[in-house]
């Protein structure tokens, strides 16, 4: 899209590239706030619609367009979080955040590439499924205050403008959210160990080896499935290693032609089940020690579009928070 800088001039708007460069930041923020890439895309589209709905004079009066866009997107997310709680009361079964593929598999439409270690740590901690599930337990204000301050490093004064509360109140919101995060966390197993356990789980699943599956699961393991009422899925969490293992075997017996693939899910080792080449389940794992503690199985096809349409058609925004100061007011 091109926008002339002034009537009668052939030059492009010098601020257009700056405005559009904020898109990645906005997608990153909205995904963490909403747990849905599809909703994040809608939020960013609405944010830009509001920007381009203003006159040129109104736009030029805004000192920091990046800060304005972030504020508007955050407020839209805050409103959506409130309505999402109502919508999820009528959601069929359990609601799980939308899973993301490994960024090198879809962000640039090709594999390979390198990841800065600092960004890699941030990616793992701020979008892994266990983290997002805890965010779902927070109030909308807690979630917005925590993500903006602790993940994206906005000051509490800036957060207060967005949330509509005092900086002191936002500090308390973030502190409460932090306690929830700490209470839910257990020491994570080394990356290689996590990957090995998930690989062993895949092999046991393919072999229908119930004893091997039970041995890989924590005795108090929990499995949660999300079908959204669109496909078959257990409506309540399955608890206990043996019960989870038996459910996994039952799935295999009902769909004997499943292909199970090792994939990175939200920055962590995960599994993808395909039936006749179509992704039907994406499983994320929580491995705090030497056993698998939790499994989140997303089956709702509306949440599997990033895994189905192919990397060449997916958005190119990198799912990582900006660590610089370019977006500060």
Q: What angle do CA 265, 270, 272 make, to 5 degrees?
A: 90
Q: By percentage, how much of the chain surpasses pLDDT 70? A: 82
CA distance 212 to 13: 62
What is the pLDDT at residue 12?
39
Q: Could you tell me the pLDDT band of residue 232, with boundaries at 50, 70 and 90? A: confident
Q: Report d(CA 271, CA 311) in Å as an integer.
A: 17
- Average pLDDT for 217-235: 93
d(CA 140, CA 16): 32
Residues 281, 299: contact at Cβ < 8 Å?
A: yes
**What span, in angstroms and rounded, lies between the C-alpha atoms of 228 and 96?**
9
Lowest mean pLDDT among 10-19, 110-119, 159-168, 319-328: 110-119
Average pLDDT, the chain: 82
259-265 LR contacts (CB < 8 Å, sep 24+)? 260/202, 260/205, 260/206, 262/198, 262/199, 262/202, 263/101, 263/102, 263/105, 264/101, 264/102, 264/105, 265/99, 265/100, 265/101, 265/129
Domain range summary for the chain, segments of one domain joined by +: 16-101+109-184, 191-312
Between residues 98 and 3, the one the model is more confident about = 98
In tens, the pLDDT along 75-114 reads 999 999 988 877 777 888 899 999 988 754 333 332 333 4
Class of domain 191-312: alpha beta
pTM tops 0.85, yes or no:
no
Q: Assign 24 to helix, strand or coil.
A: helix
Q: What is the DSSP letter of 4?
A: B
Residues counted in the chain: 329
Give me the CATH topology for the region 16-101+109-184: Butyryl-CoA Dehydrogenase, subunit A; domain 3 (1.20.140)
Task: Quote the crossing angle between the two packed helices 191-207 and 241-254, to the nearest 10°.
Answer: 50
116 contact partners, CB below 8 Å, separation of at least 6: none
Q: Which residue has the tokens 């890989």?
A: 216
8 A C-beta contact, residue 253 and residue 266: no
Contacts of 204 (CB under 8 A, 6+ apart): 212, 213, 216
């Amino acid at each position: 899209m091109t926008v002339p800088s002034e009537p009668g001039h052939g030059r492009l708007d010098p601020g257009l590239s700056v405005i559009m460069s904020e898109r990645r930041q906005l997608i990153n923020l909205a995904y963490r706030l909403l747990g849905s890439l599809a909703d994040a895309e809608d939020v960013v589209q609405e944010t830009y619609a509001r920007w381009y709905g203003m006159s040129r004079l109104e736009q030029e009066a805004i000192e920091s367009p990046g800060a304005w866009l972030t504020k508007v997107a955050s407020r839209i997310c805050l409103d959506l979080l409130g309505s999402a709680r109502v919508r999820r009361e009528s959601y069929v079964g359990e609601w799980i955040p939308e899973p993301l593929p490994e960024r090198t598999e879809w962000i640039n439409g090709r594999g390979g590439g390198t990841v800065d270690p600092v960004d890699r740590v941030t990616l793992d901690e701020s979008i892994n499924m266990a983290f997002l599930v805890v965010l779902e337990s927070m109030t909308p204000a807690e979630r917005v205050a925590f993500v903006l301050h602790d993940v994206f490093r906005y000051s509490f004064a800036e957060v207060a403008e967005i949330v509509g509360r005092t900086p002191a109140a936002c500090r308390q919101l973030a502190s409460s959210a932090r306690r929830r995060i700490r209470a839910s966390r257990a020491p994570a197993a080394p990356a290689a160990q996590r990957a090995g356990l998930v690989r062993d789980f895949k092999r046991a699943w393919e072999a229908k080896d119930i004893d091997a599956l039970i041995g890989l699961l924590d005795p108090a393991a929990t499995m949660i499935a999300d079908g959204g009422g669109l496909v078959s899925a257990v409506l309540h969490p399955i608890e206990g290693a043996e019960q989870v293992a038996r459910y996994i075997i039952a799935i295999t017996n009902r769909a004997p032609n499943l292909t199970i693939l090792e994939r990175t899910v939200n920055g962590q080792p995960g599994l993808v089940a395909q039936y006749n080449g179509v992704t039907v389940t994406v499983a994320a794992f929580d491995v705090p020690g030497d056993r698998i503690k939790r499994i989140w199985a997303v089956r709702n096809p509306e949440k599997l579009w990033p895994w189905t349409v192919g990397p060449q058609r997916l958005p190119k925004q990198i799912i990582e928070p900006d660590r610089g100061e370019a977006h500060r007011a």
